[in-house]
Amino acid sequence: MINVSHLSKRFGNHEVLKEINLTIKQGEVVAIIGPSGSGKSTLLRCLNLLEKPNSGTIAIDQVILNSQHYNHKQETNLRKQSAMVFQHYNLFKNKTALENITYPLIVGQKMAKDEAKQYGLSLLERVGMLAYANQYPITLSGGQQQRVAIARALAVRPKVLLFDEPTSALDPERVHEVLQVMLKLAKENITMLIVTHEMEFAKYVADRIIFMSNGIIVEEGQAKSLIDNPQHELTQRFLRQLT
Ligand code: ADP
Ligand code: MG
């Protein structure tokens, strides 16, 4: 489903991603862990071109993009393959929960308003937010806003969902409801790449965990074995200082 090859990204002289290679299968749930500043967010942002890679290729399903030379159409096509869920939800504040989902469909995809509304309501139901369809983000808790953001990401029928620390900004008692929704999606065989600090969740839900440090993939493996039996010293140190 995803194939990243020799992906590099610099900010000035700072090489934030160093020749990353990554393959993810259809339906696979992969968690990315690692210290702050190791390039996790940049990797996700490169996958949907929120950041422009300096070199390497990115393939998602049938769309392949060479970062050295690509045109606007290839860029648009690759962007459509994924949808991002951010730490801070990034909902439109002046739109209701339902409008947050329907607006991009009506404006971006020229979907008919009635169809967008029905589809939007069905997505809100999927994340347990149907009862809040007409409320504005400010009247919702962080966990509820994040569930709307997940519904909005699903709306464009992406091939892969990219989560960047989706529960990091939430009150502890709100983390669970978002993780529950993600668990449900994982069981529906949706391909997901999740940057997270929730080790228990990663261990339980992810098929595979990738440990990043300083712009490289230091270690990856089956979720349970990487957490319980890390091989690399950096992984061991990282996991130890979490407990
Ligand atoms: P992580 O998500 O693992 O915490 P990031 O991908 O956010 O790491 O950042 C990796 C490194 O790249 C950090 O040193 C960060 O300061 C730097 N960085 C990220 N975005 C930018 C940017 N837009 N401009 C300059 N440096 C950046
Ligand atoms: Mg980050």
Taking the centre of ligand 1 as the mean of its atom positions, its distance from the CA of residue 16, in whole angstroms, is 7
What is the rounded CA–CA span in Å between residue 106 and residue 109? 6
CB 20 within 8 A of CB 56: yes
- Strands 14-24 and 63-66 turn out to be unpaired
Output the six-digit token pair for 217: 């993939």
pLDDT value of position 177: 96
Residue 98 burial class via C-beta count within 10 angstroms: exposed 0-12, middle 13-18, buried 19 and up: buried
**Dihedral sign for Cα atoms in the order 41, 181, 236, 1:** negative
Q: Mean pLDDT across the stretch 217-237?
A: 97
Taking the centre of ligand 2 as the mean of its atom positions, its distance from the CA of residue 2, in whole angstroms, is 20
Q: Mean pLDDT across the stretch 122-142?
A: 98
Q: What is the pTM of this model?
A: 0.96
What is the rounded CA–CA span in Å between residue 53 and residue 66? 9
Ligand with an atom nearest the CA of residue 16:
1
Which mutation among 36, 38, 42, 210 tests ligand 1's pocket best, with the greatest number of atoms within 8 A of CB? 42
Taking the centre of ligand 2 as the mean of its atom positions, its distance from the CA of residue 74, in whole angstroms, is 26
What is the rounded CA–CA span in Å between residue 43 and residue 118? 34
Model-level ipTM above the cut of 0.90: yes
Which protein residues are within 6 Å of ligand 1, measured from CB? 11, 16, 34, 36-42
The tens digit of pLDDT for each residue in 18-43 reads: 999 999 999 999 999 999 999 999 99
